[in-house]
Amino acid sequence: MPKTMRAMVLEAAGTPLVERERAIPAPAGGELVIRVEACAVCRTDLHIVDGELPDGVLPIVPGHEVVGRVVAVGAAVEGRHAGMRVGIPWLARTCGACPECRAGRENLCASARFTGFHVDGGFAEYAKADARFVYELPADLDAVRLAPLLCAGLIGFRSLKMAGPARALGIYGFGAAAHIIAQVARARGVEVYAFTRPGDVAAQGFARALGASWAGEAAERPPVPLDAAIIFAPAGELVPRALAAVRPGGRVVCGGIHMSDIPSFPYALLWGEREVRSVANLTRADGEEFLTLLREVPVSVTTETFRLVDANVALDRLRRGTLTGAAVLDLHA
């Protein structure tokens, strides 16, 4: 193994990533070092780069949808070995002792640390992770198509669970998470209604190709009342629009880590026992459940690949909304 690696580093919020040569990290007792094969580019990475999330660490290597092979194992690690294919997700570690952790809600741990935000992530040739928080992944599948499952898939799955037993589901923002979870919903017999940016006929066609019953602009009303809606776009103005689209007793789930301010709206939109919920991170149990589900529900992951050095290009494409599916840094490119 070489001594140094290439990494794309955020040195100041609101500035482009810069390519740096860094020492390859060594694992502490409970850690792994992996050689990165692919790392998907998440909207959370964009929020971090653009300075929209406070309390992170700088400089930082972004990236928390990481797929790679274990190359070094700490002395205290059990159940992981060199050569194993693993995935590093957003949740890097938790305290394990607070009331939330003890209740199985480690996603709400106040002391949680996150990959690519508090600890270096996967926009690099090598990455280090707490062995307890990585997932074992199939060794024979394409790393590029596995990578978006580590956040877009996981957060989408938690959002879908929070939406409850909906028969008609609205999805606002048809990007990486939406295109994965729409397929899971369709496999369960759920009717999907997709909402996109104004004039984005390509995204609407993409949604229909994946089985959506209807696709239109976010300002439109769907042809039927929705039982639930998931908002993946970071736009607060979508909350009252989604509330107007769901039937009494329906639920609106906000699936992102950051959203612009929600404008005021009449109480009548909330009345009728409608609910608004947020999704905060995820638990390891969510990940295991989702990855097990994928053995039964085939999901086609649509990607656009970029070289590591082109991480800024991928982020800008995501910022402008010109991607189809998920952007992925391919470390073999």
pLDDT classification of 298: cutoffs 50, 70, 90: confident
* Residues near 12 by beta carbon (within 8 Å), at least 6 away in sequence: 58
Say what the pLDDT of residue 1 is: 80
Nearest to 250 by CA among 172, 190, 166, 186: 166
Domain boundaries, the chain: 4-150+302-330, 153-278
May I ask the CATH class of domain 153-278? Answer: alpha beta
pTM here? 0.95
Say what the pLDDT of residue 135 is: 97
**How many whole angstroms separate alpha carbon 243 and alpha carbon 220?**
13
Q: Sign of torsion, CA 243 245 248 253?
A: negative
Burial degree of 208 (CB within 10 A; 0-12, 13-18, 19+): middle
Burial degree of 33 (CB within 10 A; 0-12, 13-18, 19+): buried
Say what the pLDDT of residue 333 is: 79
45-78 tens-digit pLDDT:
999 999 999 899 999 999 999 999 999 999 999 9
Would you call the peptide bond into 59 cis, given omega within 30 degrees of 0 as the criterion? yes
268-285 tens-digit pLDDT:
999 999 999 999 999 999
| Residues 268, 245 contacting (CB under 8 angstroms) | no
Rounded to 5°, angle at Cα 293 from 170 and 327: 60
- The matching CATH number, chosen from 3.90.1560.10, 3.40.50.300, 3.90.180.10, 3.30.420.10, for 4-150+302-330 is 3.90.180.10
155-208 tens-digit pLDDT:
999 999 999 999 999 999 999 999 999 999 999 999 999 999 999 999 999 999
Three-state SS at 58: coil
